Structure 1
Amino acid sequence: EKTEVQKKVFANWINSHVPNCIKNDIIEELRDGTKLIALIYALSGVKLVSSIKIFFTMYFNPIFDKNNNTLEIFNVATYYS
């Protein structure tokens, strides 16, 4: 029950920044990464390449630095190998 409440609150928060982004299941809708890109754009104003999919996020960890307005990307696999 707590998890469902957290999902709903997070979906509402996302929808407050990107209207009508999440309609049903938050996990399924965020899975491919395209809605995450829309959220990053809404929050930061930085437009990312729309072809970035979950494959990218599985192997690389993007870190956005608001102070420098830059996006740093590093390979996550090197830290867990």
Structure 2
Amino acid sequence: MLETLHFEEGVPILRQLPKPFTSAAFLLHPFVRMPDGWEEQKRKRPYEHMYPSDEEIIAMGRPVSWQSVMTVCGLRSEKETARLRL
């Protein structure tokens, strides 16, 4: 399991990495739910479909588990669910 690191704001991430690491990657959750009412607040017209920006996803989005997506979509395996992201 991956450990979550908390970085000091204003200091470059690469300088904060523990030795012997020399690079980093941010892995964002593939399935995200925005707060209830988010889309309605953003729309200018009732038929318009809105997509959140990366910044909005990071600030307000909540991860949705693979198991939840599998249940809602009627998928039987994580392999089938992974295909949703393609």
TM-score category by the smaller chain? under 0.3
Q: Using CA pairs under 8 Å that are at least 6 residues apart, name the structure with larger relative contact order, 1 or 2.
A: 2
Structure exhibiting the larger radius of gyration computed from Cα positions: 2
- Larger strand share, 1 or 2: 1
The alignment's TM-score, normalised by the length of structure 2, stands at 0.21
The alignment's TM-score, normalised by the length of structure 1, stands at 0.22
